[in-house]
Amino acid sequence: MKKNISIKAKLTILFSIFSFLILTFSGMILNWTLSANLGREDTDFLIGKIHVLRSILSRHPTDKNMLEEEVKWEAGPLEFTRYYARILDENNDILIERSEMQRFLPPSVFPQPVPYNSAAKSALIWKSPDGKTFEMFSAYAKVGNEPKKFYTIQLALDISYEKKLLRDFRSRLAVILFLGVLLSGAAGYFTARKGLDPLQRMTELVTRISASRLSDRIQNDDFPGELKSLAGSFNEMLERLEESFERLSRFSTDIAHELRTPINNLMGETEVALSKDRTSYEYREVLESNLEEFGRLSKMIDNLLFIARAENAKEVIARSQLDIESEVRTIFDFYEALAEESGIHLSFKGGGLVFADSLLFRQAVSNLISNAIRHVNSGGIIEVGTKSKNDGSVEIYVTDNGDGIPPHELERVFDRFYRGEYSIRGQKAGMGLGLSIVKSIMQLHGGTAAIKSEGGKGTTVTLSFPGQFSVK
């Protein structure tokens, strides 16, 4: 099972890792630089001594005092630079050497001599049995003006002190690296903690928000820029949740009220019928009345289920190219008798194609026409028209010349069970689900439903269907 590591711990670990890598790389560079500089200085020192001894043997081959001074006494005053020199004659017999050199630096351990006319470049590193480390050169030197007389120069530099210096340097570097990583981890933890303080405060604010406190908001003025957008998004989410809770609360209240009325009617009629013996005709009247209420309940439940599926299930609908005029004429055939009975004229204007589900399209337009017939007085006109746009979308509007809807009610006409003043006045009111179903149908199509109304002049509802190539 994968463990969840806190951001604070992750930042501390990453900070420590990067600090370790940086310090290690820096230490390696310093160690390499120090070692290279010391080695180069040692090599240059020995090469310089070879040049000096070659010059003495070439120019002053008989001056033994000069040779002895250079070989035996030159290294004496040097505290940490202990080098040893030996000169062998043409028979490889020791001509002169520094004291005690024979004891731990015999001639046999030196490398092959470099020709007299060549410069010495690379040295031999040799470790003696007693643990000392030496850097050694060997080179031929021409003696005076004699063309075939060559001496051998053997030089050794004790670099044990430098090796110890490098070992101590590496040891201290390891300690510094260890302490540096610890300090870096502590600094990383402190930095992460301080940096995440705003997030902790935001968490505390969010924890206090509950279903009963959805009106609370996160004040993001004192948050850093990276968290301001998060706080803003969270506030927007709270607004949507608050709106959804309010809508759900209203819906629960409305549906309880709407279901209570037919159920009370059924219970009342049934209790009256059972209060005494009735004739079969009277029982039939009660059953017919109950059947009407059952039909109203069934239709209400079907409508609510359709809205719930449309909003939550993300149903896949079967879209196709529909001829708008043909579809609207079919709907007119269904409402023609009801409209004539109410003295209302139905008309169509426009034409074209729409990319939609045929059954849902007819249901949406039918609901709008049914609402219009219910709210238009005798002699009124209901017109269905179309508008095509450049992006391929199509607008279908249903307009009437009825009394209109008050401005303060326009924002709620698409809410479930909302019937406005018609319900209060006892006029021809439906269940208040027609426009909610229209809105859900348009959401399934990826379109919108909008309404405009003006008192005494009528109402217009516009359905905007996206084009075929705009549908994802």
CATH number at residue 419: 3.30.565.10
**pLDDT > 90 fraction of the chain, expressed in percent and rounded:** 4
113: DSSP letter:
P
- CA gap 84, 111 in Å, rounded: 15
For residue 203, what are the CA distances in angstroms to 200, 214, 218, 236?
5, 15, 10, 16
- CA gap 248, 246 in Å, rounded: 5
Length of the chain in terms of residues written: 472
CATH number at residue 230: 1.10.287
Report the 10 Å Cβ neighbour count for 460.
19
pLDDT in tens, 366-375: 888 888 888 8
Task: Determine the pLDDT at residue 29.
Answer: 92
| Whether residue 295 sits in one domain with residue 412 | no
| Whether residue 443 sits in one domain with residue 330 | yes
With a cut of 70, say whether residue 75 has pLDDT above it.
no
3-state SS of the chain: helix, strand, coil percent to 5? Answer: 55, 15, 25
Boundaries of domain holding 358:
316-470
pLDDT in tens, 242-282: 777 776 776 676 666 667 767 877 888 788 888 888 888 88
| Whether residue 272 sits in one domain with residue 349 | no
Whether 251 is covered by a domain: the verdict is: yes
Q: In the listed set 138, 168, 198, which residue is the last one of a domain according to the structure?
A: 168
| Whether residue 368 sits in one domain with residue 259 | no
Distance of alpha carbon 325 from its chain centroid, rounded?
49
Do 322 and 358 touch, CB atoms closer than 8 A?
yes
Report the 10 Å Cβ neighbour count for 184.
19
Angle ∠(459,463,464) on CA atoms, nearest 5: 140
| Whether residue 371 sits in one domain with residue 274 | no
CATH number at residue 159: 3.30.450.20
| Whether residue 290 sits in one domain with residue 409 | no
- Work out the pLDDT band at 424, boundaries 50, 70, 90: very low
pTM for this predicted structure: 0.48
Report the 10 Å Cβ neighbour count for 87.
21
| Whether residue 330 sits in one domain with residue 415 | yes
With a cut of 70, say whether residue 33 has pLDDT above it.
yes
- CA gap 122, 137 in Å, rounded: 8
Q: In the listed set 311, 331, 346, which residue is the last one of a domain according to the structure?
A: 311
| Whether residue 323 sits in one domain with residue 459 | yes
Burial of 90 per CB tally in 10 Å (0-12, 13-18, 19+):
middle
If one counts the domains in the chain, the total is 3
Structure token pair of residue 204: 């505390």
Do 384 and 372 touch, CB atoms closer than 8 A?
no
- Work out the pLDDT band at 463, boundaries 50, 70, 90: very high
| Weakest-pLDDT range from 188-192, 220-224, 309-313, 375-379 | 309-313
| Whether residue 164 sits in one domain with residue 15 | yes
| Whether residue 459 sits in one domain with residue 335 | yes
pLDDT in tens, 427-447: 445 566 778 888 888 888 888
| Whether residue 371 sits in one domain with residue 453 | yes
| Weakest-pLDDT range from 328-342, 415-429, 449-463 | 415-429
**Closest of 154, 152, 150, 99 to residue 126, by C-alpha:** 154
| Whether residue 277 sits in one domain with residue 356 | no
Whether 220 is covered by a domain: the verdict is: no
Any idea which residue has 């746009």 for tokens?
Answer: 389
